[in-house]
Structure 1
Amino acid sequence: MNDMRVLVTGGAGFIGSNLANHLATDNDVIAVDDCYLGTPENLDSSVEFVETSVLDDDLPTDVDVVFHLAALSSYQMHEDDPVTGARVNVEGFVNTVNQARLDGCDTVVYASTSSIYGNQTEPSPESMSVAARTGYEASKLARERYGEYFAHHYDMHMAGMRFFSVYQGYGGAEEHKGEYANLIAQFADDIANGEAPVIYGDGTQTRDFTHVSDIVRGLELAADHQLTGIYNLGTGESYTITTLVEKLNDTLGTSVEPEYIENPISEDVYVHDTMADSSKMKAETGWEPAISFKEGLELVCAQYQ
């Protein structure tokens, strides 16, 4: 992308700020965030920051492209307050897209989630059946349906991106989030400081860990190609949480043992395994992950060495 006016909602958050800072090199970027999960300290000075909610009436949507990443992004936030979760994740999405439409913007790339696939130890293609077992998953599925509506009814380019477990180290943009930060960042910080990382259950659950720089590249390509539809962004490889701790110890030169506790999330809703099939995204844009698991952990751990 070059010489475009771009809006990133949730732009002071983890993925949003990485995207906004990346795009600001060659574009005019506005980041909107209500600072519940994000902080403007994550943003470069070249990004224009507006502190407001995606529920507000007068969003800066007079842009060429909207990247809609604003969300209440955890299971627990939605269980604590399902109504607010729906307002932010669903109404906030519809509000933002509709204002963009009225301002003449026809290209929107938005965040969905891979957790709607449930437990999958084989690569999950977008054509798989999905289900909403939690309020968070329901809100993201609702986005996809509204995305479909805007695409069909208003001929907009609407790309829903199902992220797999996105990570970066605390040298990035998540340290302020504490317990809501990505697992790799939390565990690396614990181990580097000699503290036992806390693993839910027996540690055999698996995740398709995808580095944020690969996610950012995928989002930009989705806008460049004006994609419409649903796309996975993941590596196609999965690792157990126990293996993650072992690899972090290897990378850091430490030998910190994890602490295993009973999983506080019910087995009925807990996603035990994830693995992406991103061949659709590759076929349509040429995207594929560039950061291997080993390289990613080295990037995360570099600040401690």
Structure 2
Amino acid sequence: MEGHRVLITGGAGFIGSNLANQLVDSNDVIVVDDLYLGTPENLDPSIEFHEASVLDEDLPADVDVLFHLAALSSRNMHEDQPRRGVRVNVEGFVNTVEQVREHGCDTVVYASTSSIYGSQTEPSCEEMAVEAQTGYEASKLARERYAEYYSNQYGMSMAGLRFFSVYQGYGGAEKHKGEYANTVAQFADDLANGRAPELYGDGSQTRDFTHVEDIVRGIELAAEHRLDGIYNLGTGESYDFNTVIELLNEALGTDIDPVYVETPFDDYVHDTLADSTKMSEATDWEPQISFEEGIERVCEPYT
């Protein structure tokens, strides 16, 4: 992707900053972030940064492409602040899309979530029935419906990407997320610092862990191909948390057993697994970083 003026909301956060830094060499990149989970330190200094909210009325909206990643991005954030969750995730989405649309932008790529599939040990595809078990999931489903409206009413390309368990590690832009970082990053930091990671239940839960570089490439391809509709981004492979701890111990040269604790909420998603065939057929996207390689990258700063 080259020669475009792009706006990335949530662009100082984990995924957003990786995307911004990838695009800045060949595009004019503008980042909006309220710094709730982001920091300008994640960004290349040549990126135009605005500390602002997606609820603001005067966003820098004269752009060719909108990458809308800003969100309250976890279950717990929404259970703690349900009204704020709706404002940021739904109203903030509509507000931002309206402003760029009024400036002639017709290409939008936005973050949805794989959480709406619930617990699935078989690969989840986009045609599956989904439902909202949490306020976070409800907000992302609302976002998908508003995107459908903009596609139907205004002919805009609205690509909603359902990410599967995105990770990078504290050596990248994930550290600023702290307790909201992916479990791989948190477990690695625990082990490297001599702490026993806490696993819910018996550690048999599984995730389709997808490296942020593969996610960024998928986001970029969605804009290049002006995709419209919903697309999964995941590897199609899953690992249980006990195995994750084993792999991390091996990479770090540590030997620390996890501590098992009671799962704190009933709607906990036990298993995720992506079917990304639709994305692959549309763009030739395939994940390129194996989980074993990803683990090595996460652990490298500690060794």
TM-score range, shorter chain: over 0.9
Shift of 1:253: 1.4
Moved more, 287-296 or 192-201: 192-201
Deviation per residue, 1:84-116 (Å, 9 max, x gap): 000000000000001110010000000000010
Shift of 1:251: 1.0
Question: SS in structure 1 opposite 2:32?
Answer: strand
Moved over 6 A (4+): none
User: Equivalent residue for 1:277?
Assistant: 275
User: Equivalent residue for 1:125?
Assistant: 125
Moved more, 178-187 or 147-156: 178-187
User: Equivalent residue for 1:216?
Assistant: 216
Deviation per residue, 1:238-287 (Å, 9 max, x gap): 00011100110111111111111111122xx1111000000000000000
Whole-angstrom distance in 1 between the partners of 2:268 and 2:256: 26
- Are 1:106 and 2:120 an aligned pair? no
Whole-angstrom distance in 2 between the partners of 1:142 and 1:154: 18
Whole-angstrom distance in 2 between the partners of 1:211 and 1:176: 17
Whole-angstrom distance in 2 between the partners of 1:250 and 1:52: 42
User: Equivalent residue for 1:69?
Assistant: 69
Whole-angstrom distance in 1 between the partners of 2:256 and 2:265: 25
Task: List gaps (5 residues or longer) in structure 1.
Answer: none
**Alpha-carbon RMSD:** 0.6
Whole-angstrom distance in 2 between the partners of 1:71 and 1:274: 21
How many residues align? The count is: 303
Whole-angstrom distance in 2 between the partners of 1:74 and 1:276: 19
Which of 298, 301, 304 matches 2:302?
304
Shift of 1:3: 1.1
Shift of 1:48: 0.8
User: Equivalent residue for 1:54?
Assistant: 54
Task: Write out aligned runs for 1:142-291 (5 A).
Answer: 142-266=142-266, 269-291=267-289
TM-score (norm 2): 0.99
Shift of 1:178: 1.3
Task: List gaps (5 residues or longer) in structure 2.
Answer: none
User: Equivalent residue for 2:292?
Assistant: 294
Question: SS in structure 2 opposite 1:7?
Answer: strand
Question: SS in structure 1 opposite 2:112?
Answer: strand
Whole-angstrom distance in 2 between the partners of 1:61 and 1:209: 33
AA paired with 2:183?
Answer: L
Shift of 1:46: 1.5
Question: SS in structure 2 opposite 1:73?
Answer: coil
Whole-angstrom distance in 1 between the partners of 2:219 and 2:289: 16
